[in-house]
Amino acid sequence: MSTIQDSLTARRVLVTGASGLLGGAVAQLLRDTGHHVRTFQRRASTGASDEVQGSLTDQEAVARAVESMDAVIHLAAKVSFTGHWQEFVDTNITGTNNLLTAARSAGIRDFVFVSSPSVAHFGDALAGAEAGTANPQLAHGHYARSKAAAELDALAADSEDFRVTAIRPHVVWGPGDTQLVERVIQRAKAGRLPLLDHGAALIDTTYIDNAASAIVRGLERMDHAHGRALVVTNGEPRPVGELIAGICQAGGAPAPKLNVPGWLARGAGSVIEKVWLAAGSKGLVHDEPPMTRFLAEQLSTAHWFDQRETHKVLDWKPVVSIDEGIAKLRAHYSTS
């Protein structure tokens, strides 16, 4: 099997969303393997020698970002369990299309769109599922619906002259993760982290190093990957309660003991999300709600995926196991 180090000639790669955990890991891996990286983000970062500041909704800034680049890896997105639909449209749909248009105009040939399996998850359990087709009408939640629409637009732009692939890493976590790990630990410490249906749902997740290497591999294997959507996971389905307990133990938090029926959490999540959104629009809350219907579905239904096609197309396999990832997380918290 080939490795990342087998990459071809070093290229000039634009990475959007490099200020996030996954975007930062992708940018660093590209640098480590000899590629020149330019980042595009709203705010200045530290240590980036080539960066363009701006918004995906600003066409002039996007045009500056893609100038003289060979390829694009697009990770920037509005990622939230709640929020107004137009905010997701502006960043995830309009922003993606601005970037696609600018990249084609600049003569860029390869474009990796980083998506999510949620674009083809419609609330039912997924056991050994294939990637499936993104569907903005059936996907649940503003984030998933907007990413589904953006993925369809991105793949529709695929051609021999402008090659596009969609890589869908599933539930990415690792040291420094504020989206999942920090929230799990902080809510567990506060006694506000229930298990749904005893945490029995079997789910796939992806350790950060594996997610980053698969995304870079998507760029390097574009001859095989373009026109496709590929789900990326560790390929180690675990009960969600087991994974949460491991994260809690690594971060020095007690594992949750409170159990809530999944059906009750899904119903409550729908109500909480609406109330939270209304309160947020009045400036009364700023954090994510404690539960939404989408989150309840993710915690109470199986979602794990057949990885054989991904491994074949990318000529790639994960190198950090779940247990090794938990150990790395434990080491991170023991020194922080």
Which residues carry out catalysis? 143
According to DSSP, the residues that pair with 168 across neighbouring strands are: 231
One-letter amino acid identity for 181? V
Distance (Å, whole) CA 33 – CA 92: 29
According to DSSP, the residues that pair with 196 across neighbouring strands are: 260
Judge contact between 136 and 149, C-beta under 8 A: yes
Query: DSSP string covering 42-107, please?
Result: SS--SS-SSEEE--TT-HHHHHHHHTT-SEEEE------SS--HHHHIIIIIIHHHHHHHHHHHTT
Helices first, then strands: H and E counts in the chain: 13, 15
Single out the residue of 231, 315, 308 nearest to residue 7, CA to CA.
315
Distance (Å, whole) CA 146 – CA 78: 9
Distance (Å, whole) CA 293 – CA 176: 26
Judge contact between 299 and 291, C-beta under 8 A: no
The torsion of the CA quartet 38, 65, 167, 89, rounded to 10 degrees, works out to: 140
Phi, psi of 76, rounded to the nearest 5 degrees: -60, 135
Single out the residue of 124, 127, 155, 121 nearest to residue 141, CA to CA.
121
